[in-house]
């Protein structure tokens, strides 16, 4: 692995493994959010032997260090994408083609703080995604 790649791969646990590096490489190559099964299938297509359980564990490790964006879909499926923006942000998600656009939260951030405070909560985080059809899918 070259030094540039070595520094751009988040450290996961005691050591970075070939399998974890492969999962991260697939995530970086994918344009849209993808399920663990889709990521696993892409690894298989690339002749990279990484078990589905390892994919799930790696995605959880990446989630724990905020190295991936995570979408919890209404059907219960969880989707992942390499985090392009290190700052807190939200997404516009096309429900037909899966295209996503990173957006800033703006008023959502203030609203979340106010609602938490009004109910006696200390805000530790929130998720807010916007779903709809992109311009290409409404044609």
Tell me: the pLDDT tens digits for 110-135? Answer: 899 999 999 999 998 887 888 899 99
> What percentage of the chain has pLDDT greater than the value 90?
39
Model confidence, pTM: 0.71
Task: Say if strands 68-72 and 78-82 run parallel, antiparallel, or are unpaired.
Answer: antiparallel
DSSP-assigned beta bridge partners for residue 102 = 91
Could you tell me where in the chain the CATH 1.10.10.10 domains are found?
A: 1-84
Q: What's the pLDDT score for residue 1?
A: 38
Domain(s) of CATH 3.30.1490.190: residues in the chain: 86-139
Into which CATH architecture does domain 86-139 fall?
Answer: 2-Layer Sandwich (3.30)
Q: Residue holding tokens 């999962």?
A: 23
- Which pLDDT belongs to residue 15? 55
Which CATH code fits 1-84? 1.10.10.10
Question: What is the C-alpha separation between 12 and 30, in angstroms, rounded?
Answer: 20
Which residues are paired to 131 by β-bridges? 93
- What is the predicted pLDDT for the residue at 126? 82
pLDDT value at position 22? Answer: 93
Find all residues with CB under 8 Å of 25, minimum gap 6, and list them: none
Each residue of 45-101: pLDDT tens digit?
Answer: 999 999 999 999 999 999 888 888 888 887 888 999 887 666 777 888 888 887 888
- Please check the confidence at residue 44 and state whether its pLDDT lies above 50: yes
Is residue 59 within 8 Å of residue 40, measured between CB atoms?
Answer: no
Phi and psi at residue 100, to the nearest 5° = -130, 150
pLDDT average, residue stretch 28-53: 93
> Does an H or E element contain 3, and which?
helix 3-8
């Amino acid at each position: 692995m070259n030094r540039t790649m070595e520094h751009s791969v988040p450290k996961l646990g005691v050591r970075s493994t070939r399998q974890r590096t492969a999962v991260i490489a697939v995530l970086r190559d994918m344009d849209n959010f993808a399920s663990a099964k889709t990521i696993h299938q892409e690894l298989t297509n690339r002749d990279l032997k990484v078990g589905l359980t390892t994919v799930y564990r790696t995605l959880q490790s990446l989630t724990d260090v905020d190295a991936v964006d995570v979408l919890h879909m209404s059907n219960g499926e969880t989707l992942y994408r390499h985090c392009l923006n290190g700052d807190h942000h939200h997404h516009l998600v096309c429900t037909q083609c899966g295209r996503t656009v990173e957006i800033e939260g703006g008023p959502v951030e203030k609203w979340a703080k106010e609602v938490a405070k009004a109910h006696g909560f200390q805000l530790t985080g929130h998720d807010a995604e916007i779903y709809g059809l992109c311009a290409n899918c409404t044609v």
